[in-house]
Amino acid sequence: HKKYAPVEPVPTFTRTWPDQVVTEAPLWASVDLRDGNQALLEPMTVEQKKQMWALLVKIGLKEIEIGFPSASQLDFDFTRWLIEEDQVPEDVTIQVLVQAREHLIERTFEALKGARRAVLHVYNSTSRVQRERVFDLDRESIAQIAEQGARWVQSYAARYPETEWVFQYSPESFSSTEVDYAVEVCQRVMDIWQPTPENPCILNLPTTVEVGPPNHFADQVEYFCQHLPNRESAIISVHTHNDRGGAAASAELALLAGADRVEGTLLGNGERTGNMDLVTLAMNLYSQGIDPKLDLSNPDEIIQVCTECTQLPIHPRHPWIGELVYTAFSGSHQDAIRKSLRRQGDDEPWQVAYLPIDPRDLGRDYQAVIRVNSQSGKGGMSFLLERDFGIQLPRWMQLELAPVVQAASEGIAGELDSQSIYELLVGHFIRAN
Ligand code: KIV
Ligand code: ZN
């Protein structure tokens, strides 16, 4: 049909990303307190921002975008609180967002006065739809907005020499921007900032709206990296949204394609369908043997703080940490898990059917893996009796008890616990005789 056009192809180039593998964790940046916050029905209070900040620091995020201080008094005050109350650990850098407009940039620098180190993140939108339908400006005028923004950032930074500044530029709507033009705009920004490999700037490439498949975004990122003069003087960052459900895939492929840094939020809160979920990508890498260098050992705390601060529930099937992720309801799955767990040695690579990782790595207890309900067969029931009571039922007893257990589960709403199964066993084989 003709209502929607497919994404424009990336110009021909020698693509290498399909042959690459990710071998180390990217630099992570959280945008929970900015992108995540701006998408909430009720923005976070100062207390909630403080709570989220503490969690992000505890998890090990080293770059944290804390808000949009020129647009929100609360964000301005929060920035001041972090700086004046000395809340930012030595190894953590705060980041703030601002549009390429002088009075907003001026106010942003006021908010950051006295910061030890800060990322000043300036952006303007570059896609064709934004140029033609929103701003009514041609390519040159949009490039000049970026250049002007870069100049203001540079000249205001010079007024605050006590702070170590890192400059970040985002061609907002990058994934809908002609990639050669995105290279040109970023190059013009870099010409002003004059970064070096020792003192690089950050170029952040967003799928502001995810309009294409993840492989297309990876092509855009690799093309951008290959064609950017002075590539070694820029940290290439990606900032993916989840409109097509591909935010984590886009970021993961972008790492193959040469990105160094990834922006996202815990559990994926953010505009519309959300930002890329940092937990998902970190765990994707972890499951490939890469240390994500984030402490995700207490997912319940992450869930608790995020739900308190965003007022958004987490789906029970959320990748890696949802409540139902390490459960198996079907009998054949339960049986396969039980058999593979028995054979799993402590020091050998994890190889358990239906469990992509060891739930204990996330502080989860794999004792909760097997649940018995009306859909599960003898495998789950036998597992629970063995695990909790040390009873190994012979096969003939399993066959006889399974229908009794299934009949009992039909009468209840949830699943049967091991005590109930034990009582059914006793009732059936002992009391009955
Ligand atoms: O999604 C986006 O493009 C943004 C930018 C401001 C980086 O949030
Ligand atoms: Zn965003």
Model confidence over 109-156: pLDDT tens digits?
999 999 999 999 999 999 999 999 999 999 999 999 999 999 999 999
Residue 103 is encoded by which pair of tokens?
A: 């009075």
Question: Residue 51, Cα to own-chain centre: how many angstroms?
Answer: 19
The residue length of the chain stands at 433
Ligand 1 pocket test, pick from 239, 240, 265, 269 with the greatest ligand atom count within 8 Å of Cβ, gives 239
At residue 315, the pLDDT reads 97
* pLDDT beyond 80 at 366: no
Are 264 and 59 in contact, with CB atoms under 8 Å apart?
A: no
- Average pLDDT of the residues of the chain: 95
Q: What is the mean pLDDT of residues 302-306?
A: 98
Q: Does the C-beta of 172 come closer than 6 Å to ligand 1?
A: yes
Distance, CA of 239 to CA of 206 (rounded, Å): 4
Ligand (nearest to CA of 99): 1
CA neighbor of 7 nearest in space, from 219, 225, 196: 219
At residue 157, the pLDDT reads 98
What's the predicted TM-score (pTM) here?
A: 0.89
* Most confident among 242-246, 391-395, 410-414 (mean pLDDT): 242-246
Are 44 and 77 in contact, with CB atoms under 8 Å apart?
A: no
Residue nearest to atom 1 of ligand 1 (CA): 208
Q: What is the mean pLDDT of residues 212-224?
A: 98
ipTM of the complex: 0.99
At residue 22, the pLDDT reads 97
Residue 147 is encoded by which pair of tokens?
A: 């250049």
Distance, CA of 231 to CA of 119 (rounded, Å): 19
Q: Does the C-beta of 34 come closer than 6 Å to ligand 1?
A: no
At residue 372, the pLDDT reads 74
- Centre of ligand 2 to C-alpha 193, Å, is 23
Find all residues with CB under 8 Å of 128, minimum gap 6, and list them: 176, 177, 178
Are 231 and 196 in contact, with CB atoms under 8 Å apart?
A: no
Q: Does the C-beta of 210 come closer than 6 Å to ligand 1?
A: no
Are 257 and 218 in contact, with CB atoms under 8 Å apart?
A: yes
Distance, CA of 353 to CA of 359 (rounded, Å): 13
Q: What is the mean pLDDT of residues 14-24?
A: 98
- Angle CA(297)–CA(299)–CA(302) in degrees, nearest 5? 120
Q: What is the mean pLDDT of residues 319-345?
A: 89
